[in-house]
Structure 1
Amino acid sequence: MAPLMTIDIPKEYGYVLLTATGSLFLSTWHAFRVGPFRKAAGVKYPAQYASNEQIRAESDVNKQQAMHLFNCAQRAHYNFIENHASFLTALFVAGVKFPVASSIMGAFWGVGRVLYATGYTRKDKEDGKGRLLGFWASLLQLGLMGMAAKVGYDVVTA
């Protein structure tokens, strides 16, 4: 059996923990944000989305738009959830060696996720392209993944 390795966590790792905690609040913001869109659309629980059939059958154009925007808000929330676990994993691992850089990238990732969500639900961008305002957050997430891979490589080759 190989000898155990110890990892010293730098004091600055606290920034990583604060950034991760901020992302938990951001997740809650996403969840609460969908509610008013659901109410305006009149989509009852447990339906996750307004179906295309429901939207087409609606004669009120404003109600159709509300249903579409609810779907966009819900999709932005799900996209956040789909990415949150891998973001946190990369943040925690990369932060072991690069705590300040990871935390800064993580904080900007959060800003990008807010822009993604709010852009996706803009009435003047009904084609969904408003989400591209925050799409760059994906690049930060990839950067964190690369940094996490570097940490793993360094541990294996130490």
Structure 2
Amino acid sequence: MVAIDFLPADFGYVLLCIVYCLIMNVYLAIQVGKARKKYEVFYPTMYSDKSQMFNCIQRAHQNTLEQLPVVFITMLLVGFVYPKFAAICGAIFVTSRFSYAWGYYTGDPKKRLNGGYAAVGYLGLFVALVYIAIRQLGCFDAYLP
């Protein structure tokens, strides 16, 4: 028996990828919390006028938060049709966010680009979503068996 009957059997991979993403987000949030103490940047201040290092750590987390809604929604929608593909693209994106953050944590903002391979996961999800939308609209029906 499947936990939720209307989902594809392999949808668990998508859910595990979301768990991976939540773990990554908690990790980044903890790093910001530690940096707040270390660099004495207290709530509700978002960025420091004194510490570029704090700003790099904060920005790595903030940038990730800005992207998560789109990635979550796209991964879920693609996952309804292609769950393994969606999970692989999602895992690439999440893993890239670690690389992005660790690059930023060096204090050299250019090293955040170490996580640039997020584009592979992002683009994969985007192209799959467009393909699914076009198929859903029946645009390929004349060409498919």
TM-score of the pair, normalised by structure 1:
0.79
SS of the aligned residue for 1:50 comes to coil
Q: Match for 1:106 among 80, 90, 93?
A: 90
Tell me by how many angstroms 1:24 deviates: 1.6
Please give the alpha-carbon distance, in whole angstroms, between the structure 1 residues aligned to 2:96 and 2:71.
13
What's the C-alpha RMSD, in Å, of the aligned pairs? Answer: 1.5
Max Rg structure: 1
**What's the counterpart of residue 14 of structure 1?**
12
Runs of 4 or more, structure 1, over 3 Å off, are none
Please give the alpha-carbon distance, in whole angstroms, between the structure 2 residues aligned to 1:10 and 1:42.
48
Please give the alpha-carbon distance, in whole angstroms, between the structure 2 residues aligned to 1:45 and 1:88.
28
Please give the alpha-carbon distance, in whole angstroms, between the structure 2 residues aligned to 1:21 and 1:153.
29
Please give the alpha-carbon distance, in whole angstroms, between the structure 2 residues aligned to 1:80 and 1:116.
9
- Residue identity over aligned pairs, in percent, reads 32
**What's the counterpart of residue 40 of structure 2?**
42
- Contact 2:14 2:84 (C-alpha < 8 Å) held by counterparts: yes
Segments of 5+ residues of structure 1 without an aligned counterpart are 1-7, 56-66
Tell me by how many angstroms 1:9 deviates: 3.4
Please give the alpha-carbon distance, in whole angstroms, between the structure 1 residues aligned to 2:42 and 2:87.
39
Question: Number of residue pairs matched?
Answer: 134
Q: In 2 relative to 1, CA 26–89 (structure 1 residues): closer, same or farther, beyond 3 Å?
A: same
**What's the counterpart of residue 79 of structure 1?**
63
- Contact 2:91 2:121 (C-alpha < 8 Å) held by counterparts: no
In the alignment, is residue 136 of structure 1 matched against residue 134 of structure 2? Answer: no
TM-score of the pair, normalised by structure 2:
0.85
Segments of 5+ residues of structure 2 without an aligned counterpart are 1-5
Cα deviation per residue 1:45-101 (whole Å; 9 max; x = unaligned)?
A: 1110002xxx2xxxxxxxxxxx11110111111110010000011101111221111
**What's the counterpart of residue 136 of structure 2?**
155
Give 1 or 2: higher helix fraction: 1
Please give the alpha-carbon distance, in whole angstroms, between the structure 1 residues aligned to 2:35 and 2:127.
36
Listed as ranges, the matches of 1:114-129 within 5 Å are: 114-123=98-107, 126=108, 128-129=109-110
